[in-house]
A and B are shown apart, each in its own frame.
Chain A
Amino acid sequence: MIHIENISKTYSRNGLPVTALRHATFDIASGDFIVIRGASGSGKSTLLNILGCLDVPTTGTYQLDGADVSRKSDAELSRIRSRKIGFVFQSFNLLPRTTAIENVELPMIYADRAVSRQRAAAALARVGLSHRERHFATELSGGEQQRVAIARALINDPALVLADEPTGNLDLASGSEVMRILRELNEEGRTIVLVSHDDAVAAHARRALTIRDGALEAQGAGQ
């Protein structure tokens, strides 16, 4: 599904070039469950952003479903994000002043499709939050917010779900509930790429990619 070949990413910070990612090459098969590990500042998030088509590599190629997406325009990348990729963030990133169900509907607006309330309600039901549809993000607990975020990530039925420390801000119970849902999604055939420090979380993955100073270190199997 994903073929990354020799990608590097260099930023300019205060006029100085900073290399966040260097010469990474790897593949992710469809239906895989990958954890990306590494110290903070090692380049994990940069890699995740590139995988999620929020960013493009400076050099190298990124093929998603056989298409080279490393040189696409903003509009094309946005279309790919809305149709093929779902994001889950550490800090949930729900829109304030917006209800749970409206948050879930959001990606449908940008996917150029009819906004279906039933579909959004079904997605919320799937993460066990039917009773919270009309609540604003600020009225939900952290675990509930993250489940809304997962429902939002799923609403356009993406093949690839990217999760950046999805349990980082959650208590143990909420965190394991989130991981249970992610594993379930994986079992349905979705590809999951997860960034995490947490060994317990990493244990859910089939495979781990470790990054140190922007370089991929080892590709080991998960437990």
Chain B
Amino acid sequence: MNLLALFRSILRTLLRDRLRALLMMAGVVIGIASITILASVGESSRRDTMKRFKNMLGTFDTIIIRPGSGKNRGMVSLTNVEPTLKFDDAAALVAEVPEVRRVAQLQNAFDIDVKYRDRNGTPAVFGVSPNWPELRNDTVAEGAFFSDEDARSLSRVAVLGEDARKQLFPDEDPIGKVIHIGDVPFVVRGVMVAHGAGPAGASLDDLIYIPVTTASRRLFNRDFLTMLIAQLKDPEQGQVAIDHIQVILRARHHIAAGAFDDFTVTNPRAVMAQVNTLGSTLNRLLRITAALATLIGGIVIMSVTLIGVSERRKEIGIRRAVGAGRTAVLAQFLFEAVCLSFAGGILGILLGIAGTQIVSRVQRLPFVLEQRALVYSALLSIALGVVFGIYPAWRAAATNPIDVLRD
């Protein structure tokens, strides 16, 4: 048997009856398309969630320390935290926790009026240490961030988030201009690169950075911090660092054995891991559904092929008479089923890519193609053809030519 010639002639026949072929593969097309869309959109939304968390948390090699025992949720501010976390705590963590590379400080407040000439707004005011952009993976778009010297000298300098810049300086270069935060004048030193949205969807750019020392002494008149961010030397050492931080802060805050911490330590990596697990459980469910759809597509191919076998008994008889053995007939029908389901798989992947593009546009997600899922889909469609083609092919091979050649 000349397999190559046989397959070529089968392909020719399949291509002549495209409508029938298309109907046969419809199930596989839809199944594979939904697998592609689900895998890609799932991956895209996972990455998007990651990005939003990363936007909020900064880098993933950090540990976050907030005042209080962790009862209050949401963003910290001077009005909702206990006054337990001090500037000295930050210095102590750098000095005494070997896993910590450096610590950033935050003292922030909301609902403070900020004015520039006749324009005003209420961006969040973040008093931060000069190392803040490095720990948070932030970059300055224009101008510069403030320096250690600015922090030491309690300079009244400010760096704007993109939203605050748009609000206060819609069509003006803000650098060097004087804005009023509350009643205190600040000189605009720079503008940060935009972040986009956080996990809850709110903008992370509606804020103004000032030196934390200036905030503490000249604006808010408070000596406690709302958050510390400790950067680790080795991101894998998160739990060890947390244990160390707890021991040191408890000692510094004179907390008795058995009493609760007056601070909360969060490991962003652990939070992310949790978010990821949640996402993957949902993903898995969706994928099982899509796999079921594909399975049904396979069953459709099997039943239509089975009908085809009885419709084409005559053809089988003719092929047998001109020299086809049972194996040749088996190979033919199996090859047809594999061709159809593989073609269905490829069409499904193409449809899935188009669908992913639509879904990402509607959901405002970045367009991501799960390449592994594409390869799996293609392999799966071939496997479907084999699994669901083998029985009809066997039936075809078992057809007795004598019965069918006579009219």
Contacts and interface: CB of A to CB of B under 8 A. Distances in A.
Interface stretch (A26-34, A93-101, A207-215): A93-101
A78 to B, nearest CB: 3
Interface in B350-407: 401-402, 405-407
Given A78-B325, A78-B328, A110-B328, A95 B2 contact: no
B6 A109 contact: yes
Contacts, number: 89
B317 A110 contact: no
A127 interface: no
A57 interface: no
A95 B315 contact: yes
A134 to B, nearest CB: 13
B9 A93 contact: no
A152 B322 contact: yes
Contacts of A90: 407
A112 B405 contact: no
A151 B317 CA distance: 18
A108 B405 contact: no
A74 B9 contact: no
Interface stretch (A81-89, A171-179, A182-190): A81-89
A115 B2 CA distance: 8
Nearest to B321: A87
Nearest to B322: A107
B272 interface: no
Contact of B321 (A54, A102, A111, A114): A54
A112 B5 CA distance: 9
B47 interface: no
B17 A81 contact: no
B102 interface: no
B12 A110 contact: no
Contacts of B402: 49, 54-55
A108 B5 CA distance: 9
A54 B323 CA distance: 9
Interface string A27-52: 00000000000000000010001001
B13 interface: yes
B254 interface: no
A109 B335 CA distance: 15
A114 B2 contact: yes
A81 B321 CA distance: 7
Contacts of B5: 105, 108-109, 114-115
Contacts of A106: 9, 318-319, 322
Interface residues of A, number: 37
Contacts of A19: none
A75 interface: yes
B323 A111 contact: yes
A49 B405 CA distance: 10
A184 to B, nearest CB: 21
B52 interface: no
Contacts of B317: 93
A93 B323 contact: no
Contact of B9 (A54, A102, A112): A102
A197 interface: no
A91 B319 CA distance: 15
Contacts of B407: 90-91
Contacts of A89: 321, 405
Nearest to A83: B323
A95 B318 contact: yes
Most chain A CB within a 10 A radius of its CB, from B1, B320, B323: B323
Contact of B16 (A81, A82, A83, A97): A97
A8 interface: no
B83 to A, nearest CB: 86
Contact of A79 (B2, B315, B323): B323
B406 A45 contact: yes
A113 to B, nearest CB: 7
Interface in A155-173: 156
A82 B406 contact: no
Contact of A93 (B6, B314, B326, B327): B314
14 contacts: A74-B326, A79-B325, A91-B407, A93-B314, A97-B16, A105-B5, A106-B319, A108-B5, A109-B6, A109-B9, A110-B319, A110-B328, A111-B2, A114-B5
Interchain residue pairs A-B with the least CB separation, the first 6: A82-B323, A78-B325, A110-B323, A107-B322, A115-B5, A109-B5
